[in-house]
């Protein structure tokens, strides 16, 4: 399966859903509400989009996943993370672009791990910024190799920070609960 081609097809189908938003729409409360509106519209049309491309739509396995939508074809399952960029103006909100790319093929410097264990893998860059660096032929083992390294680095940093905080709490107790600080004195 050519995932670059598939990504372009999915992006085109999703973009068609939002053509009217490229010319402006009433301002929403915040970017989360805007994102929720976009996700709902795609969700409502996902079975049709998949059918038009010859794929079987899949439900999310749970609330906290690294993808927004998924489909299968034969023995291949593909999770799609949809990224949008919206422009806020004084009384309007536009979609600047919609991008679709396989999460596992992004360049290593695109990933940032925060609060691992709660589904907080963030991107350092927009897909437009790293589009030419996407590794379209990366296999899942190569992704796991780089991701495990990132996770280990994250846990090492978090564990060092946790030990410093434990020490600060112990000092606080030893000092009769006076002058608490996590910083150095």
CA pair distance 125, 38, nearest whole angstrom: 20
Task: Judge residue 146's burial from the number of C-beta atoms within 10 Å of its C-beta, 0-12 exposed, 13-18 middle, 19 or more buried.
Answer: middle
Q: What is the dihedral sign for C-alpha 32, 35, 40, 43?
A: negative
CA pair distance 128, 2, nearest whole angstrom: 20
More confident residue, 119 or 103: 103
More confident residue, 127 or 93: 127
pLDDT score recorded for residue 25: 52
More confident residue, 166 or 115: 166
- pTM value? 0.69
pLDDT above 90 as % of the chain: 29
């Amino acid at each position: 399966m050519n995932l670059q081609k598939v990504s372009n097809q999915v992006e085109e189908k999703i973009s068609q859903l939002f053509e009217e938003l490229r010319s402006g729409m009433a301002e929403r409360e915040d970017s989360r509400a805007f994102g929720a509106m976009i996700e709902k519209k795609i969700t409502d049309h996902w079975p049709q989009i998949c059918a038009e491309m010859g794929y079987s739509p899949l439900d999310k396995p749970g609330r906290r996943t690294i993808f927004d939508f998924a489909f299968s074809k034969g023995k291949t399952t593909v999770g799609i993370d949809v990224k949008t960029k919206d422009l806020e103006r004084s009384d309007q909100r536009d979609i600047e672009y919609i991008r679709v790319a396989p999460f596992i093929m992004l360049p290593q410097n695109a990933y940032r791990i925060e609060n691992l264990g709660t589904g907080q893998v963030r991107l350092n860059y927009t897909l437009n910024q790293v589009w030419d660096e996407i590794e379209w032929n990366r296999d899942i083992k190569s992704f796991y190799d780089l991701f495990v390294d990132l996770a280990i680095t994250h846990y090492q940093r978090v564990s060092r920070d946790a030990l410093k905080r434990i020490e600060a709490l112990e000092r606080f107790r030893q000092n009769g609960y006076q002058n608490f600080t996590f910083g150095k004195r």
